[in-house]
Amino acid sequence: MKGDRKEVDTSNSSQKNKYIAIKELHTIGYSISELCKYAKIARASYYKWLNRPETLRDRENAIVLDEIIKVYLEVKGIYGYRRITLNINRRLNSQYNHKRIYRLMKSIKLSSVIRRKRKNYIQSTPQITAENVLNREFTAERPNEKWLTDVTEFKLTTGKKAYLSAILDLGDNSIISYVLGHSNNNILVFDTLDQAIDTNPTAKPIFHSDRGFQYTNRTFKNKLDKFEATQSMSRVSRCIDNGPMEGFWGILKVEMYYLRKFDSYEELEAAIDEYIDFYNTKRLQKKLKGMTPIEYRSHTLAS
């Protein structure tokens, strides 16, 4: 082949990473010829590299890259290099820099899925309003000190809609309760709150929301008063006041919802159950010292 005559600088770090990737992918059945063509390198240069004396770093990169591919496939490509780094460091009990993981991923053109997100608002005339007590202080010493809540919308291929209400605990970023419904109404939000109280009966948190109609009615305020929660609300048109909750919606939609089409309510419900379990119990977070939300919650409550 004409391309096989092309000379390649095998001392180049990026080029070496491509060679390592080809070697690893070939072991699971991919064609060397096709991999070289995809990576835009000459087969002769790859074989020249393959037959050279292998260095310690080469062997280490091969191990790391193999683990990167495993993680990436397990999560169906939703992780970027920073979250891949967290998982690699846990699995290999290492402290690899995210830049090194980025270079290895780039060498085989691995990247997270392109995302999009959108927020819809429902105008309402409030019966009850509250000050922004939370005041964008999005940290908590322990679980059950600060809860955030919101409702988001999903569309099915049939044109029908579903609505998810959830409560996030700022102490560990876990989703402590959630309810999916066919309508965006008071019952949806009330059931979500009741679920959170049932599982955390001694909690007396700051309870923060936007000014949606469900949160500004007297019945909801009475429910908060009953378990001694302090109500807090975002300012008008300031979605950043509820930033972590908005952030969770973005994560859920780009890592699950936008990756597929949902034909039925039941199909969506099953996917949400699966994803929130994944988020709470398997998705490592750097701000939680590399733990999952539930791991961090258990660790914090036990200390």
Q: Give start-end residues of each CATH 3.30.420.10 domain in the chain.
A: 146-302
Q: What is the spatial order of strands in the sheet that 161-169 belongs to?
A: 174-181, 161-169, 146-155, 206-209, 230-233
Compare 11 and 106 and report the one with higher pLDDT: 106
Work out the angle between the directed axes of helices 98-107 and 81-91 (0-180°, nearest 10): 110
Q: Which residue has the higher pLDDT, 79 or 112?
A: 79
Q: Are 243 and 138 in contact (CB under 8 A)?
A: yes
pLDDT band at 50 (very low <50, low <70, confident <90, very high): confident
Q: What is the rounded average pLDDT for all residues in the chain?
A: 86
| Contacts of range 124-129, beta carbons closer than 8 Å, 24 or more positions apart | 124/211, 124/212, 124/213, 124/216, 125/213, 126/211, 126/213, 126/216, 127/216, 127/217, 127/218, 128/216, 128/217, 128/218, 128/220, 128/221, 128/231, 129/211, 129/216, 129/233
Compute the distance between CA of residue 196 and CA of residue 224 in angstroms, rounded to an integer.
12
Residue 115's pLDDT is: 53
Q: List, for residues 216-256, the tens digit of each pLDDT value.
A: 988 999 999 999 999 999 988 778 899 999 999 999 998 99
AA identity, residue 143:
P
What is the mean predicted confidence (pLDDT) over 125-131? Answer: 71
What letter represents residue 85's amino acid?
T
CA distance 5 to 71: 35
Residue 204 has pLDDT above 90, yes or no: yes
Report the alpha-carbon distance of residue 32 to residue 147 in Å, rounded.
53
Please determine, for residue 47, whether its predicted confidence score (pLDDT) is greater than 90: no
**pLDDT computed for residue 125 by the predictor:** 55
Whole-number pLDDT of residue 23: 81
| Contact between 67 and 92 (Cβ < 8 Å) | yes
Q: Which fold has domain 146-302?
A: Nucleotidyltransferase; domain 5 (3.30.420)
Is the whole model's pTM more than 0.95, yes or no?
no
State yes or no: pLDDT of 9 exceeds 50.
no
